[in-house]
Chain A
């Protein structure tokens, strides 16, 4: 019984959610191995070998893994799967795209997006946009599991010295070609891991008004989120979307501005520690999950909010 975790990285650095997945994977079984498929990703291999929870790092280096192509990843992972009881990855767009392809080839029914490890075969997972929690037991011999990263703390990153093993690449797909990636670069904290998130909805009325949000985000060192309505309307790019079909966030503080609170949005943020809602409609469903609700016009409230924050002597970072 060993667990194989598929690392997400950009050939230079390990993506943060991999560390959350490491925590969950080592709760399944502590004989945890990590597979790094990459191109000149030695730094990634090195940092993972220093994670105390990891016993072994398998490194496959080839140009076919330079960009993340699920087809290429899958053939390599299936080759290694034989020795493992569980194949695990994070349930973000990386793992969601990849894991079912592996599971189908292993003839395994995948358990998606778990939020708790109950035992080696039993897990808790949200269904219906988090409006119900299901306890499920996998009866497949080999289990494919994706992990909701925000439900697990990141693992320790240093102090370990895992064995590093080189392995050969598998076949590349001739049918899929990577063309380009449009990554939105930002100096702000990442949405998925930020301590504070401030999100805007349809109430923002246009993209320019998101400046009111970004000014506060700068002050609080917060990430910026958005409802699907705001993204659909083109106020902000898709990587900011919080909700059932976007990102799930669990910050210490979530500030929802001009967001009515459709169940699909609540699915992405209602586990946040403290929720603030600013909305001029006192009946908006967002108030039902808010610890602090302010019924106000956001165009009055946000500038005041910023000036009150500026009056504070210290702000936690």
Chain B
């Protein structure tokens, strides 16, 4: 089985987001970037499946500017075999991302495509489902457990009510939840080895797809701030405030 894993470079999850004064977006200059957290889970799961002898090759792919390659390099350092970097210079929407991924899938013919369930920058939660639709493949979203069967996957999904288990035939798309596994750290020797693994570069403009945005971002602003609260000295005072001041109990 061959697994394609899509990873995205985003502002690191620990960074305090600042909105640009001109309302055009958020500050990204000199801000720490890293792989979108659930994409790390997607890579980890693929590597585990390969280690269990159920996958033969893992290809990591990213779409983005030159530096987005760092995310593929990191995937190579934890066990992906080779990388693909599709270069785009501007921010593109999940629909365009899924169209690019579809082209790559048609070329690479993977049996499975894994990715994180949502990117923590735009919080869209769309790409995996869109790719599944475009390929007419089954989708298993928000996966917290994956069992590889002969020609299918049994996937436990995290849903509002609890857990749901579905079986999807291969080829399939899986979007990964943070609870799917514990992503490993790359060891120094593996980081060195990863530098020798190949990353193929493709220009998105050569794929013959319209990736122009359909959604105009009119402005980005800071959310309304909460007014500062107070510290209470005791449980008695807390209950009294909730009862008589806030009137919520």
A residues sitting closer than 8 Å to B (CB atoms) are 69-71, 74, 92-94, 96-105, 107-113, 122, 126-140, 173-184, 192, 196, 220, 228, 231-232, 237-239, 244-245, 247, 252-253, 263-264, 270, 273-276, 282, 287, 289-296, 301, 304-305, 308-309, 312, 315-316
Q: How far is the CB of B101 from chain A (nearest CB, A)?
A: 11
Which residue in chain A gives the minimum CB-CB distance to B233? A294
Q: Is the CB of A110 within 8 A of B221?
A: no
Q: Using Cβ atoms and an 8 Å threshold, which residues of chain A touch B169?
A: 174-176
**Pair count A-B, CB < 8 A:** 257
Q: Which residues of the other chain, B, contact A239 by a CB distance below 8 angstroms?
A: 159-162
Is the Cβ of A108 less than 8 Å from the Cβ of B229?
no
- Count residues on chain B whose CB falls below 8 Å from chain A CBs: 79
* Assembled-state Cα–Cα distance A274/B241 (Å): 11
| Candidates B129, B218, B235; contact of A308 at CB < 8 Å | B235
Contacts of B69 in A (CB 8 A): none
Interface string of B212-249 (1 = CB under 8 A from A): 01111111111100100111101110110111001011
Chain B contacts of A138 at CB under 8 A?
214-215
Chain B residues with CB under 8 A of A130: 223
Chain B: minimal CB distance from A248 (Å) = 11
Q: Tell me whether B239 and A309 are in contact (CB under 8 A).
A: yes
Given A176-B138, A244-B123, A108-B214 contact (CB < 8 Å): yes
Say which one of B57-65, B114-122, B198-206 lies at the interface with A: B114-122
B134 at the interface (CB under 8 A from A): yes
Which of B1-9, B72-80, B139-147 lies at the interface? B139-147
A11 to chain B, nearest CB (A): 14
Supposing A101-B139, A312-B243 touch, asked if A133 and B129 sit within 8 A by C-beta, the answer is no
Q: Are A104 and B17 in contact (CB under 8 A)?
A: no
Q: How far, in angstroms, from A316 to B242 measured CA to CA in the complex?
A: 11
Residue B11 at the A interface, CB < 8 A? yes
CB neighbours (8 Å) of B100 from chain A are none
Nearest residue, chain B, Cβ from A124: B221
Write out the residue numbers on chain B whose beta carbons fall within 8 Å of the beta carbon of A293: 229-232
Q: How far is the CB of A6 from chain B (nearest CB, A)?
A: 14
CA distance A107 to B239 in the complex (A): 54
Q: Known contacts A131-B17, A176-B166, A177-B168; can you find 12 more A-B pairs with CB under 8 A? A: A70-B139, A100-B130, A109-B214, A128-B11, A135-B219, A138-B215, A181-B159, A182-B162, A253-B242, A270-B226, A274-B248, A294-B232
